[in-house]
Structure 1
Amino acid sequence: MRLHPTGVPLPDGAAAAVVVPPPDDGPGTWAGAPSALRHDGAVYLAYRLRRPEGEGRGYAVVVARSDDGVSFEVLAVVEKERFGAESLERPALVVTPAGRWRLYVSCATAGTKHWWVELLEADTPEGLADAPSVTVLPGSEELAVKDPVVQSHGGQWHLWASVHPLDDPDATDRMTTRYATSPDGLTWTWQGTALAPRPGEWDARGVRISTVVDLGDHLVALYDGRATANENWEERTGVAVPVADGRFGCFRAEGSGPAAESPDAPGRGLRYVHVLPLPGGAYRLYYEVTRSDGSHELRTETIPSGAPEL
């Protein structure tokens, strides 16, 4: 049970439960990249399943429901073939103010390093399995866009997505996070860089915001960071606070090292943390963590109200 001095909850692994194991053992086999929400007293979770390079990569996104936040019933499975994608990555699951279900899906363009984001919308979470799709973040010849974090409040939609420059074919793992706004969650306007890598630091190669938490009087973000290309897929979790000039949705990294990492694996990967607020001031965390055999599994843990700070 840990709270960062900023007030944002952090995973510690001591009381974590496995929500989804990897599809198989060994490196490149993953379950994770979660996005969660509470609706009518239940927890809904979207996550990605992946096999190694040459065996299918990110082959499906799953939407599931749980009464306790740990044991889930699968409601919908979305496979990469429906988008003509080579691989899928982190989804974002939201319910609109009108009660519609939306699933934003990260899709890889076959034979390239390009990524784009597709949107499915339905009346129910089960309906997402065969809902029609529309491209909402196409990326470009110069930039790949993926791993969205999407929120809707105050009559405005907010999005944070990782952006990868494609100018150097040998360095497309580099990433920053950009912030965008929208009146409807469909048409997005980029507002600038939300979080940038820090030269010479543990997050110098890339940063990817994984969750943005509203703590009442301020926002705090958790992000995935890596120092080198060799740490791709084994990012660790850092904390970011709002920039001093007050630009909404923009953050700066806090501290000189990661705030959370895997206790089980040499690569120490612990990434894609999603913070889900619970009634009474508690939190439930979902995250992807590297196991000792190199595979990744999806875990959860709770942080009770009034947990002590680090």
Structure 2
Amino acid sequence: MKNKKILIGVLCAAIAEIFYGFSYLFTKNITNSVSPLTLLSWRFIIAFIILNICVLLHIIKVNFKNKSIISLISVAIFQPVLYIIGETFGIKLTSASESGTILACIPIVTLLFSALLLKEPPTKLQVIGVGITAIGIITIVVVKGIEATFNPIGYTMLMLAVVSYSLYSVFAQKAEEFTSAEKTYAMMAFGTVVFTIIGLTENVISGTLKDFIFLPFTNGEFLIAALFLGIGGSVITFFLCNIAIASIGTNRAASFVGISTIVSVIAGVIILNEEFSIVQICGTALVIGGVYLANIMIESKKEEIENYQEKKVENG
């Protein structure tokens, strides 16, 4: 039973990062012609509509009665609200090498917050694995060319993204009374409210409110991007992330972050005909090796005793 739960968590974490990788590609393509805030608004509007359809059709169940909503608010504020704001503006204000390098610190910072707030210090293998993964991500990103913008606001926004993602992981694990579906629902609701208000404000100021409202119906490329990001990059991805954190814990789930970088690079090679050098192949190998090391199960003495006692009870 325990092994099945771990397998589910690992698969969910890996698949979620694959969706994240493709999300970067869709975002990169469409924001060349459309405001990032407009895209975010429609992304979460679509996500929230789809999620409510799933609830109405009883595909998923949510029940917030007699539960402490405060812990759920903490999850939703850090992800998607603060994380996406930090990531979007951080990437826009800095170079690809800078943003990629700073965001590569997410697993490391997550381990730190997990130890401080959850009192779950990482194992030596998790530390080594996450470190190797970070080196792999930086290798893949930096090989495209090192550029320095020296933009303090951009760096601050990227650090906001790093800290927000890490705290989301911690608070998602702490919110044990909520199911993964309930956490995802709250995240989509907060994202919809915040980014729709921001998107509407931006378009009212620029005098493009009518264009904003009808954009999905007049721009096929935008509609495809918004649908993928809303359904795949938001509903499915966040749902899988919440399952992964609940199943394998914050530390191990964070180690999969580098997979999204690999996917985005490979997608760029296949779809955009970008180069894939030997150095990037080595970086990819480091990421995969780091994820593997961080997820090797070595039972502690306490776990061995608990498992022995469980087996003893089962055998009478």
TM-score bucket (shorter structure): under 0.3
| Bigger strand share | 1
Structure scoring higher RCO (CA < 8 A, sep ≥ 6) equals: 2
The structure that has the greater radius of gyration is 2
